Structure formats: structure tokens, C-alpha cells
Amino acid sequence: MRNIQQVLERWGGWVDDATGVNWPPIAAGFKGLITSTRPLRPSCCDNDGLIIDACIAKLQTVDKSEEIEVLFMYYSLGFSKRSIARLIEVSDIEVRSRLQKGESFVQGCLAMLDIKLEMDDEIREHKKLTRTQKAMVVY
């Protein structure tokens, strides 16, 4: 089972990266000379980003634009749940509810499509099985 919040966190980093498919703003060979002023965020590859984007766009077809708005503000723009509630003038509980509905919808889409994301190995919830060591008693 994948952790959908980590998936969406990386999707938000991918969306916020703002590189898209445009030309690079720095000429070839000079990229390492200029340091970035933006904080580094975990991001996903383009393939994963497009897949998750398609799942989120599917929310629009089922008339869930409120969930899209909250998902985008929380994961891409990095707003807190409380600040989102103030901006869209609803309660904190309503923001949490919309966020949970959106996360569940994206999780369901990914499960229905049975798609393996490239980031799955990094974010998969591993359950650690621990085995007690048996002592061997020798007389």
C-alpha cells in the first residue's frame, strides 16, 4: 500500500517546480554556477506527475472542484489547513474533509488503474517483520 500523502507531497513539488516543458532559463553549462534561491522539495518524475495530474483532473469530471482547490493549495502551494480555511471561508473541519476526499479519490484512481509509479519503491509503507531470536540452549 502506498502512502498517498507522500505521493501528493512529491506531486506538489513537481507542480511547484515550474519547469514544465519550457526551455531552461539558464544556458547549457552554466546551470551549476548559479545557486537556487528556492528551497528544495521532494519531487516526482514527469511520468508520475502526469499520471497523478490525470487523476486529479478526473475530480473535475465528477464535479469535485472544491477538493481540487484544497489539494492544490495544500500540496503545491504549501498553505496550512487553517490558512486554506480562512482563504476559502470554511471551517478547518471542512478543509480536512475535502482534503481527505481528494486524497482518497486519487488513491482510488491509482488503485483502479493498477499503475506502478516510479516513486513507489521510495515511498511504499514497509511493514517490518521482526522475528525474535530463539536461544539455543546446550547442556
Q: CA of 64: how far to CAs of 38, 58, 68, 94, in Å?
A: 31, 9, 7, 14
133 assigned to some structural domain: no
Q: Total structural domains in the chain?
A: 1
Task: Give me the amino acid identity at 73.
Answer: M
- Among left, alpha and beta (phi > 0; psi -120 to 50; other), residue 27 is beta
Give the model's pLDDT for residue 139.
61
119 assigned to some structural domain: yes
Task: Give me the amino acid identity at 35.
Answer: T
Kindly report the pTM of this predicted structure: 0.74
28 assigned to some structural domain: no
- Choice between 38 and 60, residue whose per-residue pLDDT is larger: 60
Tens of pLDDT, residue by residue over 3-55, are: 899 999 999 988 887 655 444 555 555 555 555 556 677 888 889 999 999 99
CA gap 93, 99 in Å, rounded:
10
132 assigned to some structural domain: no
59 assigned to some structural domain: yes
Residue ranges making up the domain that contains 93: 4-23+38-123
